[in-house]
Amino acid sequence: MNLAELPGEALARRLEGKGILLQTGPFTVRIHSRVEGFTQQFRRFYASFPVVSEPAIADFHVRLIMPGGIRRRWRPQVLLLLDGQEVFLPYPLSHAFPLFEWGLNWAIAMQAHQYLMLHSAAVETAGKVMLLPAWPGSGKSTLCAALVSRGWRLFSDEFGLVRIDDGLLVPLPRPTPLKNKSIDVIREFAPGLEFGPAFHGTRKGTVAHLRTPDASVAQAHITAPPGWLVFPRYQAGVPLSLKPIARPQAFLKLANNSFNYQLLGLHGFQAVTRLVRHCDCYILSYSDLDEAIIKLNQLTDT
Amino acid sequence: MAGDGIVDGPEHTEAETRWVAPEKQELHWENWGKQHALYDARSGETHLLAEQTARVLQQLVACPGTAREVMEALCSESGECCDEQSLEHSARLLRQLHNVGLIEKADT
């Protein structure tokens, strides 16, 4: 059953009661909420995601609550509990959905050490995954959204999840958060995409989420091998350039980009070296999305 | 210790220092032509080594030795001619490997 098949009132009751068990990529998440406004946004963005039948063991327990006290009257807030623990300061109530998304990212990054986790977007075409590893501000999410709008399968906007034992990439499609100028860039680039509301004044500025394509959610159980490592670098006005980089350089960049390379020890080393061995490695500098996508399509067609 | 009047053991010149590398199974290599990535399972550290440094370390893994012995083994393997410059180079690479914790001075 998908989330959309649960009537609105039943969903709200479940969220307020024993929680919803949602499947997102390889993870089962139990979600509780008694927060006004969250249910509608959650339902909208996760409509096509599978609901896991009870009983089942959850990888993560996420609970959204409204703290009590007098503040609740004049400036209501929302608090996120992960496995019963507070991990962030409270957010304004209206930011419950982005808080949920960041909280789930945090939970995965802190706990999913059965995978090598790269801070990377990942998109698939022709049965192989292109990883776009980058730190914030590099244009990773924008490029990822643009590729997905042109038919690439979304693996993840945030995580390159590499299975340790066979090196395959594991999909984790979720809503894509675009920030600040990227929102209008993608609205203009792909007018057909479904955006949620803009959340202003978050710790990352204005954030608006793109709905995950249903086809990517439906194929979230289908892993794929890595094919290309492309380190994106957006810079206004620069001419397009896609330069191959040597494997040692790609190795260093990738190891530094990983959330848990050090923690995985030898497994991390083996996973990163295998990835670099099996990928063509490039640095992409771009300022124009159309040009970048033509170039990446040419790369993957050859 | 030279010059301070205290005698605390035999002195070695740098060329006489014997170096020892970790056991072979502690080191995990990835080779990309002239660059090598190395994972040291004892420390959990990853190192990126140039070709010559990797050869020096691999020689020490095969057999502990002094800078001269290492150099002679490598020269013999490659058919290159050994001179004082290559001895200095070998000693410098050994110092670098020691500085990053990949080799140690052998017990005398």
ipTM of this complex: 0.86
- pLDDT, mean of residues A276-285: 97
Instruction: Give me B51's structure tokens.
Output: 């070709």
Could you list the residue range(s) of the whole structural domain that residue A105 is in?
Answer: 3-111
Instruction: Please name every residue paired with A116 in a beta bridge, in sequence order, or none if there are none.
Output: A162
Instruction: Please name every residue paired with A64 in a beta bridge, in sequence order, or none if there are none.
Output: A33, A80
The answer on A151 and A103 residing in a single domain is: no
Residue B25: per-residue pLDDT: 97
Least confident of A1-5, B7-11, B31-35: B7-11
Residue B51: per-residue pLDDT: 95
Q: What is the mean pLDDT of chain B?
A: 87
Q: Does domain B15-102 have CATH number 3.40.50?
A: no
- pLDDT, mean of residues A142-157: 97
The answer on A66 and A140 residing in a single domain is: no
Residue A72: per-residue pLDDT: 66
pLDDT reading at B16 higher than 90: no
- pLDDT, mean of residues B35-42: 97
The answer on A89 and A105 residing in a single domain is: yes
- pLDDT, mean of residues A140-145: 96
Chain-chain contact of B44 with A262 (C-beta, under 8 angstroms): yes
Residue B108: per-residue pLDDT: 55
Q: What is the mean pLDDT of chain A?
A: 95
Decide if A96 contacts A77 (C-beta within 8 A): no
Q: Write down the pTM of the prediction.
A: 0.91
* Set of chain A residues whose Cβ sits within 8 Å of the Cβ of B30: 251, 269, 273, 277
pLDDT-derived band of residue B7, with 50, 70 and 90 as boundaries? very low
Contacts of A11 (CB under 8 A, 6+ apart): A3, A20, A39, A43
Domain total for chain A? 2
Residue at a domain's end among A111, A130, A150? A111
The answer on A220 and A123 residing in a single domain is: yes
A225 min Cα distance to partner chain B (Å): 20
The answer on A206 and A58 residing in a single domain is: no
A273 min Cα distance to partner chain B (Å): 7
pLDDT-derived band of residue B81, with 50, 70 and 90 as boundaries? confident
Chain-chain contact of A248 with B32 (C-beta, under 8 angstroms): yes
Q: Please identify which residue in the block is written with the tokens 């004082």.
A: B84
Residue B10: per-residue pLDDT: 47
The answer on A240 and A106 residing in a single domain is: no
pLDDT-derived band of residue B85, with 50, 70 and 90 as boundaries? confident
The answer on A119 and A102 residing in a single domain is: no
A17 min Cα distance to partner chain B (Å): 45
Measure the CA–CA gap between B88 and A141, rounded to whole angstroms: 51
Measure the CA–CA gap between B108 and B106, rounded to whole angstroms: 6
pLDDT-derived band of residue B1, with 50, 70 and 90 as boundaries? very low
* Set of chain A residues whose Cβ sits within 8 Å of the Cβ of B46: 255, 269
Chain-chain contact of A248 with B35 (C-beta, under 8 angstroms): yes
Measure the CA–CA gap between A82 and A99, rounded to whole angstroms: 12
Chain-chain contact of A246 with B28 (C-beta, under 8 angstroms): no
- pLDDT, mean of residues A119-125: 98
Residue at a domain's end among A111, A135, A163? A111
pLDDT reading at B29 higher than 70: yes
pLDDT reading at A71 higher than 70: no
Q: Which of B25, B26, B30, B31 to mutate to test the interface with A (most CBs of A within 10 A)?
A: B30
pLDDT reading at A67 higher than 90: no
The answer on A129 and A89 residing in a single domain is: no
Domain boundaries, chain B: 15-102
Q: What percent of chain A has pLDDT over 90?
A: 92
The answer on A186 and A38 residing in a single domain is: no
Residue B9: per-residue pLDDT: 47
Decide if A177 contacts A207 (C-beta within 8 A): yes
The answer on A278 and A145 residing in a single domain is: yes
- pLDDT, mean of residues A88-95: 93
The number of C-alpha atoms within 13 Å of A124 and in the hemisphere containing its C-beta is: 23
Residue at a domain's end among A111, A142, A164? A111
The answer on A203 and A62 residing in a single domain is: no
Residue B6: per-residue pLDDT: 44
What is the per-residue pLDDT across A226-275, written as a single tens digit (0 to 9) for each?
Answer: 999 999 999 999 999 999 999 999 999 999 999 999 999 999 999 999 99
A69 three-state secondary structure: coil
pLDDT-derived band of residue A95, with 50, 70 and 90 as boundaries? very high
Chain-chain contact of B46 with A255 (C-beta, under 8 angstroms): yes
pLDDT reading at B2 higher than 90: no
The answer on A186 and A247 residing in a single domain is: yes
